[in-house]
Amino acid sequence: MTQQTLPIIVRNLEIAYGDFVIQRNLNFQVNKGEIFVIMGGSGCGKTTVMRCMSGLKPPSRGEVLIEGVSLWRVDPDRRAGVSSRFGIVYQSGALWSSMTLAENIGLPLGEYTDLSPADIRDLAALKLALVGLAGFEDYYPSEISGGMRKRAGVARALALDPNILFFDEPSAGLDPITSSHLDDLIVQLRDHIGMTMVLVTHELPSIFDIADNAVYLDAETKSMIATGSPDQLLSESADPKVRAFLTRNGKINL
């Protein structure tokens, strides 16, 4: 796969707030159709790195290439055009409580397309069906469970048919069974639609069950100290921090 066709390349990336460096010297790539996990302990900057990759926070140096386009070296209009091919699933679901699920999903369709209200509702129903929520178009977020709200958040992220989906701690606040069902949904979407997925998570079951590749960010050195599939890192990494992270609570996932 050539550099031009790789969905995402992170090159010499440094992210900071003023003089306070979050992460530096990040170099990794995300392959097409891959489920890629950004992992590490609390406070290492996982979500901040994802925000930079998805066009929400500029880096202090380095670059993020999306299908050959340097996201932070183009003008804002071009960057907005590239970013329109992303979908983002936020940790809280980020649904408007005063809108039904269909209205929430139709919001980006109404803003960025010329579709009629009837067509928007039909597409919203289709996206909800894709995530297992057929028939819930007229429910409000407060009327459904936390797991269903996460699925509705995925449906909204799918509204504009993105090439790349970003997830910020998708399993946060969910019980193990609901979390496992959400993981299954992520894999199904990748397999059936062919999207590239980037997840921020520290949940070991999700990391080992669905990740094709991963990068480990270290809070102490403020840089990446490992990259590869979770199984490969568990069996081959000599770094004690990586092994400790992947074998927490005495659970070795082989």
- Cβ contact 169:206 at 8 Å: no
Angle between helices 101-112 and 117-130 (to 10 degrees): 120
Condensed to tens digits (0 to 9), the pLDDT of residues 161-196 reads 999 999 999 888 888 898 999 999 999 999 988 899
Condensed to tens digits (0 to 9), the pLDDT of residues 11-62 reads 999 999 999 999 999 999 999 999 999 999 889 999 999 999 999 999 999 9
One DSSP character per residue, 201-240 reads ---HHHHHHH-SEEEEEETTTTEEEEEE-HHHHHHH---H
Please, which residues have CB within 8 angstroms of residue 139's CB and are 6 or more apart in sequence?
Answer: 100, 101
pLDDT band of 98, cuts 50, 70, 90: very high
For residue 5, the model assigns a pLDDT of 52
Q: Which helix (H) or strand (E) holds 45?
A: none
- Whether the per-residue pLDDT at 70 is higher than 90: the answer is yes
Please, which residues have CB within 8 angstroms of residue 136's CB and are 6 or more apart in sequence?
Answer: 101, 128, 144, 148, 152
Buried b (16+ CB within 10 A) or exposed e, 69-81: ebbbeeeeeebee
Cα separation, 18 vs 16, in Å, equals: 6
**Which of 98, 97, 99, 95 has its CA nearest to residue 131?**
95
Question: What token pair was written down for 76?
Answer: 């804002």
- Cβ contact 201:233 at 8 Å: no
Q: Where are the domains of the chain?
A: 96-161
- Whether the per-residue pLDDT at 111 is higher than 50: the answer is yes
Q: Which helix (H) or strand (E) holds 151?
A: helix 146-157
Instruction: Quote the DSSP letter at residue 91.
Output: T
For residue 1, the model assigns a pLDDT of 45
Cα separation, 8 vs 29, in Å, equals: 6
Question: What token pair was written down for 66?
Answer: 């999306």
- Whether the per-residue pLDDT at 207 is higher than 60: the answer is yes
pLDDT higher at 136 or 248:
136
